[in-house]
Amino acid sequence: MGILIFVACKNSAEARKIAKALLKKRLIACANIFPVESHYLWKGGMEKANEAMLLMKTRKGLQKQAEKEIKKLHSYKLPVIEFFETRLNREAEKWVKGETK
């Protein structure tokens, strides 16, 4: 069982900074960054922003540590950190377990 972490960041530089920090601490095995156009409600108004979506692969048991590190590095007052359980093929699961602490 794998875990995917989704986090919208203000830009790709912030997403890279967070990804590198989590990789160095071996809290994730991989990070993907891609541009997104976000539409959301904030303080009673409708907002739109160009952001960078950070998608990270990790394993169960590292969620709390990863969340703590993301919150420490993220610039938003309310970073939305989403966790999804996934099923990995056997080789990918072995790789994720081997690359994370």
pTM of the model: 0.94
pLDDT at position 1, please?
Answer: 79
pLDDT by residue (tens digit) across 29-65?
Answer: 999 999 999 999 999 999 999 999 999 999 999 999 9
**Contact partners, residue 68, CB within 8 Å, separation at least 6:** none
Q: Does domain 2-99 have CATH number 3.30.2000.10?
A: no
Alpha carbon distance 3, 36 (integer Å): 21
pLDDT by residue (tens digit) across 70-94?
Answer: 999 999 999 999 999 999 999 999 9
